[in-house]
Amino acid sequence: MIDKHQISIRFKELYGSEPTLISKSPGRINIIGEHTDYNEGFVLPTAIDKAVYVALSKRDDSEIHLFAEDFNESFSIDLKDIKPTEKGWPNYILGVVNQILSRGLKISGFNLYINGDIPVGAGLSSSAAVECATGFGLNALFDLGLDKVSIAKIGQLAEHTYAGVKCGIMDQFASVLSKENHVVRLDCRDLSYTYVPLELGDYEIVLLNTNVKHSLASSAYNDRRHSCERAVSLVQEKYKDVNSLRDVTLDMLVELVKPVDEDSFVKAKFVVEENKRLEKACSAMESGDIAEMGKQMFQAHKGLSQEYEVSCKELDFLVDKAKAFPEVLGARMMGGGFGGCTINIVKKGFGHELVEALAPAYKNEFNLELTPIFVKTDNGSELVY
């Protein structure tokens, strides 16, 4: 956890005065429900106790001054000149500013300092946390009157327009609206949501970071979206009221997609079945059946690997090896795929033993270090100063 007093000291070193406020937005995990968000399905994320912190104060002019501790870099621009920059990291902040201005909301220049403890590249949505901490902080600093769902939407649109990633809403929504010891059962069609208790009892969540990110991730993501859209269009030829895979049954896919496009059938079938797995996992959580929840996670990984084909040999290796331990109730790849982390439901106290057992074999197989990340659930965006 980042010390807010250290943030204040650093802010004063950079800008000559204390920050007016510090906002915090967490990273996220997703228990189950992968690649369902852009198909108007359901997801089951929650925030974790690793976050991005943004310290802010107003300026007397129209300039924005930014400093990112992770990069030890500053950036400044005038409000009237806001546009994407080649530097990269400022875009997640500037995109939020652009969205606020495009809504006709009034802000002046400001000083901003950003720091955090979310491991970058682990698939824990550090970019969404940056967007949401910025939006949440600016909303408070300038009294903009934005509700939490609007802040999440602003973060998503900032990523679309300034970072160039057409992400679903899950990451930003989880970052802003999560509740400790609960998961958010989010309907990605209409953004209605409920909180489902996540009482793990004698178990805890351990993430295993593969420390890889394969380059085909973005092109494969677009290919999967296209396959899903193709399946929907084939079904729509007979069923006019179908809008997305959310409305599609397995029988429809067998009848109308399988004979025409086998690949689109397999991809769409995964999404339809993943929504069903999520429902089963939710019921299991509500009844405290963590073993059943874990079973659905193992099945989800099998589908992600063999049907949706977004896993990789490193992720498959870790899930296969984890499955051999009775102390592990469930494991699967998490996120877009082709790298990042596996999420594991592990008997309390066994996590370190699991890592000690897997790390040498993983190193031997791939010549890569295995990095464990121990996480707890947490609340969404909040002011900490």
pLDDT digits (tens, 9 = 90+) for 161-185: 998 887 888 999 999 999 999 999 9
Tell me, what's the pLDDT at 228? Answer: 96
171 catalytic per annotation: yes
User: Would you state the pLDDT for residue 122?
Assistant: 75
- CA triple 52-43-218, angle to 5 deg: 70
Pairing of strands 110-116, 63-68: parallel
Residue 218 has a pLDDT of: 66
- By 3-state DSSP, what share of the chain in percent is helix, strand and coil, each rounded to 5? 45, 25, 30
The pLDDT assigned to 216 comes to 62
Q: Which helix (H) or strand (E) holds 152?
A: helix 148-158
pLDDT grade, residue 94 (50/70/90)? very high
The answer to whether 58 and 77 are in contact (CB under 8 A) is no
Enclosing H/E stretch for 311: none
Lowest mean pLDDT among 23-27, 84-88, 309-313: 84-88
371 closest CA partner among 170, 51, 124: 124
Query: In this predicted structure, what is the pLDDT of residue 124?
Result: 81
Q: What is the pLDDT at residue 167?
A: 80
Q: Which residue did the predictor score with more confidence, 3 or 320?
A: 320
- Give the model's pLDDT for residue 215: 64
Predicted TM-score (pTM) of the model is 0.90
Q: Regarding predicted confidence, which is higher, 174 or 213?
A: 174
Residue 165: its H or E element: none
Comparing CA positions, the residue from 324, 312, 368, 369 lying closest to residue 350 is 324
Instruction: Quickly count: other Cβ atoms within 10 Å of residue 145's Cβ.
Output: 8
**What mean pLDDT is reported for the chain?**
94
Query: Where does the pLDDT of residue 342 fall: very low under 50, low under 70, confident under 90, or very high at 90 and above?
Result: very high
Q: Which of 61, 81, 117, 171 does the annotation list as catalytic? A: 171
Over 90: is that where the pLDDT of 81 sits? yes
Give me the percent of the chain exceeding a pLDDT of 90.
88
Instruction: Give me 56's structure tokens.
Output: 């802010």
3-state secondary structure of 102: helix
